[in-house]
Every structure is written in C-alpha cells, then in structure tokens.
Amino acid sequence: MSRSKFERVPIAEQDPKVRATNFDEVCLGYTEEEAIEEAKRCIQCKHHPCIAGCPVDIDIPRFIHHIAEGEFEEAAHVLAEYTALPAVCGRVCPQEDQCEVVCVRGIRGDAVAIGKLERFAADWAKANNVELGKTKEKNGFKVAVIGSGPAGVTCAGELAKEGYEVTIFEALHEPGGVLVYGIPEFRLPTDEVVMHEIGNLKKLGVKIETNVVVGKTITVDELLNDEGFHAVFIGSGAGLPIFMGIPGENLNGVFSANEYLTRNNLMKAFRDDHDTPIKAGDKVAVIGGGNVAMDAARTALRLGAETWIVYRRTEKELPARVEEVHHAMAEGIKFEFLTSPVEVLGNEDGWVRAIRCQRMELGEPDESGRRRPLPIEGSEFEFDVDTVIMALGTSPNPLIPSTTEGLDVNKWQCIVADEKGQTSKEGVFAGGDVVTGSATVILAMGAGKEAAAGIDKYIKEKYGEKSLA
Amino acid sequence: MYKIVRKRALASNIFEADVLAPRVAHSAQPGQFVIIVPDETGERIPLTICDYDKEEGTVNIVIQRMGCSTKKIDGLEEGDYLKDFVGPLGRPSDFVNEDIEELKKKKILFIAGGVGTAPVYPQAKWLHERGVGVDIILGAQTKDLVILEDKLGSVAENLYVCTDDGSYGFHGMVTNMLEELVSNRGKHYDLAISIGPMIMMKFVALMTEKLGIKTVVSLNPIMVDGTGMCGACRVTVGNETKFACVDGPEFDGHLVDFDEALRRQTQYKPEESKVDERFQEECRAEGGAE
C-alpha cells in the first residue's frame, strides 16, 4: 500500500464534465476494500471526540471498527441503534464541522472519512438486504408525528422502537420532506436512498399518511382530542421561502429556490415523462451562498443553463459545505462574490432581463461573527440574466401554530420548545427547523431524537409504566 | 388513492366529479381549494372546491378540459382513483367568520364566469342555508357552456344568466349584466364576490370600483405545493406581496394587481404546451380517445 496513513482514501466521483449534464449521484461511494482501508485509519482512540461531535451520538469508533474487520452487517446494526437515516446522513451531514473536525487523525493529516464510511455501511446493508428493524413489544400508546422530514422520521423511528404506535402525517404527496423536495438527486437519490430508509421506518411499524396538511386537513387539537393520540410531535420544518423585498421580484422568471427545486426534485420536471414544467433558464443567477443555493445552481446547470452564484460576502464566508462548493466550481458554476442585487429588471413583457447589483466590501464582524458586507457607493452595474433564483433561506410555516390553541411561537415564528421538545402546550412536542429556523438535517434528527425521549418520559409519567396493549 | 364515486358531464368540455376524501370533506369550508395529482407522472393541480358532503365524505370538483392534466382526470371513470387529493387549502371566505345577522343586512352579489361558476355554489349555498339571500350573475361564452344553472338557481334569490354571444339569457358579458342591473334595473349591492377567469375578474373589479361595490375575487394563480412553500402564487395586493395559497385565494379585488397576476399566469405556457403535445402523442400511440 503506497498511500500514507495521513491521507484519506480517495472516493470515486462522476467526472465533473459528465455529471454536469445528468442528475445521477456525484459521489460513487467506497468499495469494500477502500472502506476497510479507510476504516483502519481510525486509531480507536480512548476519548473518541467524534461521538460528542455527533448530534445523535452515534458510536462512531464501534461501527468503524466493524468495517475495518470486514463485519459490514454489524456496522450497519450499530448505526441503526442511533439513526434512522444513515445513508442520508452519510451523504448530506456536514461531518467536516461535526465528527470529523474533532477526529484525532485530523491533527496531523486528514480526518477519518466518517461520513463516507457511514454511507458505505448503510449502502452495504441495503444491497445485502440486511434486516435492521428491532422493536419492543407494542405498548398501546399512540403518537402523531407531523412532517416526514429528518426530525419527524427520527422521532417516529425512536418511538416505534420503544413500542409506540406512530402515525406520520405528511402534507405533500410523498414522504421525506426536504430530503425529497429540497435536496437534489445528484446529492441524495430519492428512490434508492431516501425511500429505502423510509421503507425501513415502515418495517418498524410506523404508518405514514400523506396528503394531510395539519392546520388545514386536521388540527393538532383534533389529533389529541378526536383521534386518540397521546402525544403529538411537530417536525414540520422551515418551508416558507424568504424573498429580498427588492423591486422587480415578482417579474416572470424570478423563482424561490423552493419552487425551482420542488419542481425538479419532488415533481421530477427534469424527466421527459413527467408533466410538471420547469423554466430552466439560459442565464441563471442564484442569489445566496448556502447549500440550497448550491443545489439550485447545480440543478440549473444540469438543466442546461449558464449559472452564477451571486453572494454578498467572499468565498470564505459561504455557508454551504466546502465539498458542495468545490463540486459546484468543478462543474462550471461561476461565482460573483461581494455582490448583492438591488433590483430585478424586466423587459416590456414583464420577464427578467437583468439584475441591478452593487459591489460590497467586508466591514466589521456582525452578531454572527462573520464580517458584515457593506455596499460600495457608485458600484452599481447591470448583470444580464433571464432567470433569478432566490436562495436566501426559509422560515417556519405558521399554519400549525396559528391553528393550535396555546402553542407559543417566538418573533421569528419558530415554535418555542425546550431541549426535550416540550412546547407550551401539554402533550405537544416540536423539534427541528420549526423550532430552530432552517438548519441541517442532522440537527433536526438530533432534535427528533431528544423529543422522542421527551415524549416517552411524558407518556410514562402521565399514564404510568403500564402498557395499554 | 382517492376514489371517484360519481362523474358527470356538465358541458361539452366541462365535467364534475365527486371524490371520496373524508378528511378533506370533514374540514372543507366555502372558498377553499384542493390539489390533485392524477397519476404517477402527473403534476399538482389546484382546483377550487365546488361542494362537499361531510356525511358521505366526498368533495365535488368541476374541471374544464384544457391541458394534459385535466385530460388525464377526464380520462378516469367512476370507480377509478386519483393518486392524490389534498386539502382543504387556503383560507375560507371571510363571510364564514362574520356575524350572520350582519350578513343578512347586506345585499350580496356573486359574479361567476365559465368554470368559475362551480365554486360559487358552495358559497351561495352556505349563505342560503343560513338565511342570507344572494343574487348571482352567471356568465358563459355561449349557451352550451352555461353550467349548473338549476343548482345555482336553487340557492339564489335572483339568478341572471348572460352569454357573450347572446345565445341564452342576457346578451353580454358579466360586466354588462352587472351594469345593467345597477344602472338600469335599480339594483343595489353592498358586496360582490367574483370567481372566474383572471381577465374577467379584472374587468369585474374595474366595473365594481366604478359602481362603488366592495369586491372579493378568488384568484387561481400557478401553484406547486399550495401550503406556502414555493411562492409561485405570489400576487401583489395593495402593494404587498401575498401568497395566494395561504393568504388567499380570496382577496380584495380593488387591491389586486391583475396585470401582474395575468402575466404571472402565463409563465409556463410554452412548457405546458410541450407537455400537452407529448401527452396527445402518447394517447395516439396507445390508440386512446384523445
């Protein structure tokens, strides 16, 4: 073996030129041999800082040890103890800020590729039909989970394993939440990865009812009072798109990233045999610098557009994962840093013809610790594009709080909940983006897991340890 | 899957269906809408609720055959299933939360055009059942396209039918009929509620503004999710951007920027035509009815 142990085993990816024209997954994953080699780089250190870095406390050294020994099935079982979505997390978690950033290997050389190994173990289990579902005897208590994104799915999985009867209510026609409508196929394949993990959840006995918009189709109070649920978990996410509030934003050709991505991902507009239309655009400006902005830009590129990311700070401040930024750049996305739109300009038919932008410079750090962008006077210029995609973040949907008696929200419309997910209303728990505002998949999963423990404690305290079954 | 329990033609290109969707029927109120996905490859189509039977658990929808999606739904028969049916979405009509005695003092006029005639029915019926009398103007291009005349007649104090070509009822558009009623027949109205094509609602709003009648319109912009997530349905109302799906679909007709709304409705026209062409080819290839 010629590779130094300080270097990570490289992982196969689709060639950037090829993948820029398709929606197949970019990263191809480790082979068994590569996974074993990478797993052996883990020194199984005694203080395992990686576990504390993981929002769902996965026993990382233990699953990696199994991979190093070639015991892939055991590795998958270790993961299943802690997470309902290992194949998802292995792909989209920001490991570089969580488990890998504290890896002892990283002090000298590359951190162990924990995320890639997690993905490997999960994919191996799927390919080899490993049965992961182990649940306690049914206890007869019913819990309703609202939303089938990362928070809801995790909460549901944890409770099902404890013997609860869990029903997930999903507003859209497919389960998965942001994993399906938001994150594109080339990063997270829907059918092979997300639906497989949701299938595992169903094997735990979780029921999923799609097409139920809680707050409209049924209310939280009806779930508790009329449908016999002993507790409700709200994991409805942060789905409302934020716009800039600049002139011209309602011109034809201005879309929220949510709309653009939902048309392409959930509705599969990129496929010729699907009916939902999408305006790919010829020259597309994506406004924003987060993961959603990267996803929207890389989607536009794959649909054939020349694509720019327009971001008001510099490359260093981009909130997106470094891996995704590198992927985007390799694929040919262009970046306009230190640039902010002030107006969208239209042609006589009301379609976008350009954005008027101003150049920025970085001033003193703001509350977020990042240097505040300040406009440079007299720097305005027109940037010719025909499509603008706003990827400025999202906020929670007020639909549930506004229809639930006694459920408090803060000034950002986020539901107020403590660390165990308990809200201001008895029997109602919440977690994930609906509580924190838009964040990451894994933080939502962590919150779903905490809330499951909170719900378990609440029900056992209220009804005693006895089972209803 | 949602079963079509009854289906019936209302005109040559308009049909109605009762769909078994107990949760939707249970919560439905006048003014709200549903989203339908016909099949695996279908798009999400917003449709205003035209009636509901809470006991039977059915929701009535009325559809005009236009593009691929509406043709797909028309291709289904009684006993067939729609893949998805979600709702009720949007806010109910404002009058649902108003004091009935106050409503009884008002003269309310519905102005319905084309396939928009159908969603007027649950509103007029709701008011009629609570003893609030309403008048209705029902407009269509021509006699064959006049739909639900008996149904609307049964819940209206006065039903005025008009056709653009004069083949039935009053000769003229709904705006002509409205002007005729107010200016020549001495009618007085406190509130107009208009549902129909965007262009019709625009001209109704212009006319009622002239006549000094407060006006509510029910907008039908492009939508994807219908729950506030995509923002495709952005509409400017009184210089503020609203999402028709969650803030509407009903708005003050005198504050809506109709020119913007009309323009935004055309955003996907070329793409939609392409999908429709492909669908027709597929139907031909399968020897289907299309």
- Report pLDDT digits (tens) over B117-148: 999 999 999 999 999 999 999 999 999 999 99
Of chain B residues 19-48, which have a CB less than 8 A from chain A?
23-24, 26-27, 37, 41-44
Q: If pLDDT is split at 50, 70 and 90, which confidence band does B199 have?
A: very high
Contact A211 B85 (CB under 8 A): yes
**What's the average model confidence in pLDDT over A104-114?**
93
Nearest CA in chain A to B261: A250
The answer to whether residue A173 neighbours chain B at the CB level (below 8 Å) is yes
Helix (H) or strand (E) holding A285: strand A283-287
The pLDDT of A346-363, averaged and rounded, is 96
**Chain A closest CA to B100's CA: distance in Å?**
23
Out of B42, B69, B263, the one facing A252 most closely (by C-beta) is: B263
DSSP A287-301: E--SHHHHHHHHHHH
Quote the pLDDT of residue B290. Answer: 42
Residue A236 contacts B where some CB pair is shorter than 8 Å = no
Contact list, B24 vs chain A (CB under 8 Å): 217
Q: Mean pLDDT, to the nearest integer, of B139-162?
A: 94
**In chain A, which residue's Cα lies nearest the Cα of B44?**
A276
Task: Name the band, by pLDDT with cuts 50, 70 and 90, for residue A291.
Answer: very high
Mean pLDDT of chain B: 93
B240 neighbors B252 (Cβ within 8 angstroms): no
Q: Coil, helix or strand for B275? A: helix
Chain B residue closest to A178 (CA)? B229
Chain A residues with beta carbon closer than 8 angstroms to that of B42:
275
Flag whether pLDDT at B101 surpasses 80.
yes
Pairwise CB contact (< 8 Å): A262 & B27: no
Give the per-residue pLDDT at A1: 52
Q: For residue A180, give both structure tokens.
A: 């399906």
Amino acid at A128: N
For chain A, say whether B273 makes contact (Cβ under 8 Å).
no
pLDDT score recorded for residue A135:
82
B278-282 contact pairs (CB < 8 A, 24+):
B278/A272, B278/B68, B279/A275, B279/B67, B279/B68, B279/B71, B279/B72
User: Is B278 close to A272, i.e. CB distance below 8 A?
Assistant: yes
Q: Would you state the structure tokens that stand for residue B261, as one six-digit string?
A: 């709304």
Q: What is the pLDDT of residue B2?
A: 96
CB distance A172–B225 less than 8 Å?
Answer: yes
- CB atoms A275 and B23 under 8 Å: no
Please state, in angstroms and rounded to a whole number, the distance separating the CA atoms of residues A99 and A49: 7
Banded model confidence at residue B287, pLDDT cuts 50, 70, 90: low
- Kindly report which listed range (A11-15, A373-377, A416-420, B70-74) carries the lowest average pLDDT score: B70-74
CA distance B182 to B203: 16
Residue A19 has pLDDT above 80, yes or no: yes
Total Cβ atoms within 10 A of residue A245: 8
* Nearest Cβ partner for B268 among A172, A217, A279: A279
B275 at interface of A, judged by CB pairs closer than 8 A: yes
What is the SS3 assignment for B7? strand
- Whether A211 has its CB under 8 Å from any CB of chain B: the answer is yes
A433-447: average pLDDT: 91
Whether the Cβ atoms of residue B29 and residue B92 lie closer than 8 Å to each other: yes
Residue A367 has pLDDT above 90, yes or no: no
Contact B227 A213 (CB under 8 A): yes
- Sequence-distant (6+) residues with CB within 8 A of A394 are A238, A239, A240, A241, A242, A258, A292, A433, A438
Find all residues with CB under 8 Å of B257, minimum gap 6, and list them. Answer: B235, B236, B237
Cα B90 from Cα B92, distance rounded (Å): 7
Residue closest to A90 by CA, chosen among A65, A127, A124, A62:
A124
Which of residues 71 through 110 in chain B touch A, CB cutoff 8 A?
83-89
The candidate with the shortest Cα–Cα distance to A92, out of A273, A320, A274, is A320
Least confident residue range of A317-321, B2-6, B63-67, B155-159: B63-67
What is the Cα–Cα distance from A417 to A407, expressed in whole angstroms?
10
Q: Which residues of B touch A242 (CB under 8 A)?
A: none
